[in-house]
């Protein structure tokens, strides 16, 4: 377990020392902020909520909460992940979200098992590639999570037709079982 962590830390340090990678990261982050439909203050608030949720999920004494993901868009927290039958992780995560200042609503998408995390990551990458290839969309507007082939889309777009196009592009990817959209329209 220590070796992958050390490798990850070493990789992060190398990327941090590489001026080219630092510049690419800065440009990417700036582009994402500039093309986001949310105001800068809303983006900052959502980022703060996500950070608080991540910490709360990791620190929770309830088994399984640390592996869940919480994303926030315009005060709406979407919690996703694997929650086995009989586990209290989902309910605990929802309670933590409701206690977080700034959270307006909590949505969830849980699956009981995830047969192949690697396959789900591959599907998510293909969905992101489909978004990038679609000249009508800004891929950065929608985050993708995949669990047991079920695609979960979370973001904010300008209009209903864009939201539907994200859903359609995701649904067209081989291996996608279903698409659950938490895309908000401005």
Residues 176 and 130 in one domain: yes
- Nearest C-alpha neighbor of 182 from the set 112, 120, 105, 115: 105
pLDDT single digits (tens) 63-118: 999 999 999 999 999 999 999 999 999 999 999 999 999 999 999 999 999 999 99
Q: What is the pLDDT of residue 46?
A: 92
- The rounded distance, in Å, linking the Cα atoms of 82 and 69 is 10
Tell me, what CATH number does 75's domain have? 3.30.300.130
In the predicted structure, residue 148 carries a pLDDT above the cut 80: yes
- Quote the domain boundaries for residue 102: 40-111
Paired tokens of 136: 């009508």
Confidence of residue 5 (pLDDT cuts 50, 70, 90): very low
pLDDT single digits (tens) 22-43: 544 444 444 445 567 778 988 9
- Nearest C-alpha neighbor of 151 from the set 123, 115, 132: 123
Residues 95 and 149 in one domain: no
By CB atoms closer than 10 A (0-12, 13-18, 19+), residue 23 is exposed
- What region, left, alpha or beta, does residue 175 occupy, with left being phi > 0 and alpha being psi -120 to 50 degrees? left
- The crossing angle, in degrees rounded to 10, of helices 19-35 and 2-17 is 90
Q: What is the pLDDT of residue 28?
A: 41
Q: What integer is the mean pLDDT of 138-143?
A: 93
Domain boundary among 60, 84, 111: 111
Residues 54 and 29 in one domain: no
Residues 49 and 93 in one domain: yes
- Nearest C-alpha neighbor of 157 from the set 143, 170, 176, 175: 143
Confidence of residue 16 (pLDDT cuts 50, 70, 90): low
State how many domains the chain has. Answer: 3
Residues 123 and 180 in one domain: yes
Task: Could you list the beta-strand ranges (E) of 89-141.
Answer: 105-111
Domain boundary among 65, 81, 111: 111
Sign of CA dihedral 168, 80, 122, 135: positive
Q: What is the pLDDT of residue 20?
A: 53
Residues 123 and 181 in one domain: yes
Residues 30 and 60 in one domain: no
Residues 99 and 68 in one domain: yes
Residues 47 and 25 in one domain: no
Domain boundary among 94, 111, 128: 111
């Amino acid at each position: 377990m220590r070796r992958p962590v050390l490798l990850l830390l070493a990789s992060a340090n190398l990327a941090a020392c590489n001026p080219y990678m630092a510049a690419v990261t800065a440009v990417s982050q700036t582009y994402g902020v500039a093309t986001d439909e949310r105001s800068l203050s809303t983006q900052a608030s959502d980022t703060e909520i996500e950070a608080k949720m991540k910490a709360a999920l990791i620190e929770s004494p309830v088994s399984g909460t640390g592996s869940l993901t919480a994303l926030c868009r315009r005060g709406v927290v979407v919690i996703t992940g694997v929650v086995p039958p009989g586990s209290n992780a989902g309910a605990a995560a929802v309670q933590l979200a409701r206690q977080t200042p700034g959270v307006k609503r909590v949505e969830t998408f849980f699956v009981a098992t995830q047969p192949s995390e690697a396959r789900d990551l591959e599907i998510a990458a293909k969905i992101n590639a489909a978004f990038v290839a679609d000249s009508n969309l800004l891929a950065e507007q929608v985050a993708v999570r995949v669990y047991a082939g079920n695609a979960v889309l979370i973001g904010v777009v300008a209009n209903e037709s864009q939201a539907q196009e994200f859903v359609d592009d995701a649904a067209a990817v081989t291996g996608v079982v279903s698409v659950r959209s938490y895309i908000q329209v401005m």
